[in-house]
Amino acid sequence: MKVIGYNGGLDGYPSSFDTGHDASATLVVDGKVVAACEEERFSRFKHDARFPRQAIEFVMREGGVKDLSEVDLVTYYFSYPLMFHPGKYQANSKQVSLLEKPAIWLPNAAMKLFNKVAGYDNKRSHRAFVREMGQHLPEEKFKAVPHHLCHVASTYYDSPFERALCVTLDAEGESVSGMMAVANGTDIKVLKQTYAPNSLGYLYSFISLFLGFDKHDEYKVMGLAPYGDPKPYRDYFKSIVTLHDDGGWTVDPGLITFLMARDAFIGRANQNMYPPSMTKALGPARTKDEPCTQKHMDIAASLQVCLEETVLHMLQHLQKQTGEKNLCMAGGVALNCTMNGKIARSGLFDEIWIHPAAHDAGCSFGAAMYGYHNLLRQPRKVQKPQVYLGPGHPRSAIDSALEAFDKKIQHNKPADLYETVATALEAGKVVGWYQGRMEWGPRALGNRSILADARRDDMKDVVNHAVKLREGFRPFAPACLAEKVNEWFDMKGLKDSPYMLFVVPVQEDKRDKIPAVTHVDGSARVQTVTAEQNPKFHKLLQAFYQRTGVPVFMNTSFNVKGEPIVNTPHDAIRCFLNTQIDMLVLDDVIIEKRPEVAEALAKERARDKARTGRVIDGQVSL
C-alpha cells in the first residue's frame, strides 16, 4: 500500500496569517518511509509554506509512483473544522478577567461561524490538492488528519518503542497547542490537549520577537540564553506562566491574545506595541540593529528556564499518571535541544525519542504514517529509523555542475578521499561535504554538511563570519564517533544522539580540547555517528581521529544565513563559491577555487566590514 502525506499549501485566508510553514511531503510504501523532503529544498525559499508540489513529485519519483491513481491514500496535516474550537475559550476562560473574556470568545465564535458559512471544510483541501497537482484523485482517497495527531504519529511510528508516552508542543495547530497521548501498537489514546492561547510555543516565539529576532528564530534565543542570568526576570515569567497541581500550566491568555491580535491586524513590523505590563517588567523591545546587551541575554535565560521548568512539571505528572517508561516528543518546541537534554538527565524516562523533523515539516511524515496504520488499519512493525530520505543526485548531475562552473573551480579525485579530507581539516581548512541522499529535517547529519576542526579556538568565529554569515554568539554542533562519545560528552540519560537534538555537557577535561563546539556554559549539541547510520561520514571521522587523537569535528548545515540547506550539486558549488569554504567534496570529487577566484573573494571579504557577533563587555554585537 502507498500513502502520501503532505503539509503546507493551506487554501484561503489561513495562508495569509502564518498558519502554515515548512511544507513537505512523505511517501510510505507498505509501512516503510521511502522518501521525505521539505519543499524549501527545491524552491530555495526558506520555511516555504506553499503547496509542496515539488516535494510531492520527488517522493513519487523516489517511490516509483508514476500517477496518483497508484496511491491508496493521500493524507493532509490540517483539519479546517477544528479551527476556532470552543475549547480555546472553555479551557482558558477561568484564567482571564471579565474584560478579557470577550476578546477571546467573540472572535473565536465569529470566525467559527464564518468558516462554516464560507465552506472551510476538508473538501476544500481536497479541491486544492487536485488543482495544484493537476491530477484526479477520488475524494474518498483524501483524508485530513488533525495537526497534533500528525505530530504524535511522526514521532511514535518513527521510534524504536512498542509503546510510549507521546507529547507534542508547538504554537498552535488548528486550535491545539499541545497533545499528550499514550501509544501502543497502532492505538493512540489522547489523554489531554491544551488550547491556544495557552501556548508555550507562542510564548517562546513572542519573546524571541521581543528580543529583536525574526519569525522561526527561536533557536537563536536558545543559543543566546547561556550568556545570561535567569534571576533578574524569573519573577516576571513566573507571573505569566502558572503551574497547576495536576501537571498543567497556563500561559497568561490575555498577554498571548493581545500579541496574536497585534500580529493579525497590525503586523509584526510594529515591534514596540507590547502590553504595558510586559514593557514595565522587561523594558522596551530590542530593535534588530540594536546591540544585544546583558539584559537581553538575561531575558533569554529566564525564558529558557521557564520553558524547562514548565515542561518538566508536566512530564513528572504524566509519567506518574501513565507509568510509561518511554517518551516520544514532537512539535516545534521539541527542537529546543537544551530542554531535551534536561529531560534526558532528569531520569523520568528510560529512553527518549524525538522525531528528527519535529517541526511542522514532520507533519507530512506523521500524516502518512497515521494514514497507513490508523486509517488503512495496517499493522505496525518497529523498524530502524531512517533519516537520509531526501533527494540524491546521479553522477551526471555532479558532472554537469562541474562543467557549469569550470572557469571558477578546479577538481580532482584523490587516491584516498578520507585521508585527504582529514588532512585538510587538521590543517584548519573548512570543508563542504556533500554525499548521497539529503537529510530529513532541519539538521545536517553528514550528507549536506560544512565541517571544520573543533580543536581550533578561532574556528567558531571563522565559520560564523566568513562562511555561514550569521551571528557570532551562535554555537556549532560536534559530530562524534559513537564509540567514543562517552569519553568526550556526559551522555547521562541517553544512549545516543544521532539527530543533534540533545544538548549535553562536554566532559570537563575535554572542553579545552574542542573549544569551537563547546558553548559558553560547557555544553554541546552532539551528534553521534555510527558506521551503520552513515558509513562515509563515520570513515571520515575515523580518519580525523587517527590523525589527531580527537574523534570530534564541527558539523554545521551546508547553507548560509537566510537560505535552505543546499540540494543539488549546482547549489553546493554556488554556495562554495560565495563563501570562504576552502574545499568542497562532491561524492568522491574534491573541488577548490581557482587561485584568482579565491584571491578575489578574500579581497571582497576584507572590504566587507562585517559585524563581528562577538560577546564583548556584556554585549553581543550583531
CA distance 1 to 17: 36
Residue 137 has pLDDT above 80, yes or no: yes
Go through the chain and tell me how many residues it has: 622
Average pLDDT over residues 489-508: 97
User: For all residues of the chain together, what is the average pLDDT?
Assistant: 92
Q: What is the CATH number of domain 2-83+120-158+360-375?
A: 3.30.420.40
Which of these, 601, 602, 572, lies nearest to 404 by C-alpha position? 572
**Is the separation of the CB atoms in 274 and 285 below 8 Å?**
yes
pLDDT attached to residue 620 = 37
Residue 34 CB-half CA count within 13 A? 18
Task: List strands edge to edge, sheet with 527-529.
Answer: 409-412, 589-593, 583-586, 431-434, 448-452, 552-557, 477-481, 527-529
- As assigned by CATH, the class of the 395-620 domain is alpha beta
pLDDT attached to residue 34 = 97
Q: Would you tell me how many other CB atoms lie within 10 Å of the CB of residue 556?
A: 24
DSSP-derived secondary structure letter, 387: -
Average pLDDT over residues 495-510: 97
Residue 489 has pLDDT above 50, yes or no: yes
Helix then strand then coil, in percent of the chain rounded to 5, is 40, 20, 40
Q: Convert the pLDDT of each residue in 314-366 to its tens digit.
A: 999 999 999 999 999 999 999 999 999 999 999 999 999 999 999 999 999 99
Residue 94 has pLDDT above 80, yes or no: no
- DSSP letters for 113-168: HHHHHHT-SHHHHHHHHHHHHTS---GGGEEE--HHHHHHHHHHHTSS-SEEEEEE
Give the position of cell 521557564: 306
- DSSP letters for 305-355: HHHHHHHHHHHHHHHHHH---EEEEESGGGG-HHHHHHHHHHTS-SEEEE-
List 616's β-bridge partners, or say none: 619
Burial zone of 531 (CB within 10 Å; 0-12 exposed, 13-18 middle, 19+ buried): middle
Any residues with CB less than 8 A from the CB of 49 and at least 6 apart, and which?
Answer: 8, 9, 10, 15, 18, 20, 21, 22, 23
Average pLDDT over residues 589-617: 69
Average pLDDT over residues 525-546: 98
Strand extents, DSSP E, 331-430: 351-354, 409-412
- Which of helix, strand or coil describes residue 504? strand
Q: What is the CATH number of domain 192-354?
A: 3.30.420.40
**Is the separation of the CB atoms in 356 and 443 below 8 Å?**
yes
Task: List strands edge to edge, sheet with 73-76.
Answer: 32-38, 24-29, 2-7, 73-76, 142-144
pLDDT classification of 108: cutoffs 50, 70, 90: confident
pLDDT attached to residue 537 = 98
Q: Per the structure block, which three cell numbers stand in for 415?
A: 587516491
Average pLDDT over residues 7-34: 90
Average pLDDT over residues 410-419: 96
> What percent of the chain clears pLDDT 70, i.e. is strictly above it?
95
pLDDT attached to residue 610 = 45
Q: Do domains 192-354 and 395-620 have the same CATH topology?
A: no
pLDDT classification of 609: cutoffs 50, 70, 90: very low
Q: Which residues of 325-344 are buried (b: 16+ CB within 10 A; e: fewer)?
A: ebbbbbbbbbbbbbbbbbbb
Sign of CA dihedral 549, 555, 560, 561: negative
Extents of the domains making up the chain: 2-83+120-158+360-375, 192-354, 395-620
CA distance 165 to 156: 9
CA distance 552 to 485: 9
CA distance 528 to 505: 14
Q: Would you tell me how many other CB atoms lie within 10 Å of the CB of residue 154?
A: 33
> Is 154 or 621 the better-scoring residue by pLDDT?
154
pLDDT attached to residue 270 = 57
pTM: 0.93
Q: Per the structure block, which three cell numbers stand in for 21?
A: 510553514
CA distance 473 to 220: 9
DSSP H or E stretch at residue 575: helix 569-577
Residue 346, phi then psi, degrees to nearest 5: -70, -25
Average pLDDT over residues 103-128: 88
Q: Which residues of 215-250 are buried (b: 16+ CB within 10 A; e: fewer)?
A: ebbbbbbbbbbbbbebeebbebbeebbeeeeebbbb
Q: What are the distances in angstroms from CA 2 to CA 57, 73, 415? A: 14, 7, 43
Residue 522 has pLDDT above 80, yes or no: yes
pLDDT attached to residue 473 = 78
Q: Which range among 27-31, 102-106, 130-134, 227-231 shows the weakest confidence by mean pLDDT?
A: 102-106
Q: Which range among 54-63, 92-101, 286-295, 428-437 shows the weakest confidence by mean pLDDT?
A: 92-101
Q: What are the distances in angstroms from CA 154 to CA 33, 35, 78, 141, 576? A: 11, 14, 14, 20, 34
In angstroms, how far is CA 241 from the centroid of its own chain? 24
- Which of helix, strand or coil describes residue 620? strand
Q: Per the structure block, which three cell numbers stand in for 207?
A: 519573546
Q: Which range among 88-92, 229-233, 545-549, 579-583 shows the weakest confidence by mean pLDDT?
A: 88-92
- DSSP letters for 519-573: -TTSEEE-EEE-TTT-HHHHHHHHHHHHHHS--EEEEEESS-TTSPPP-SHHHHH
DSSP-derived secondary structure letter, 439: P
Q: Per the structure block, which three cell numbers stand in for 41?
A: 529544498
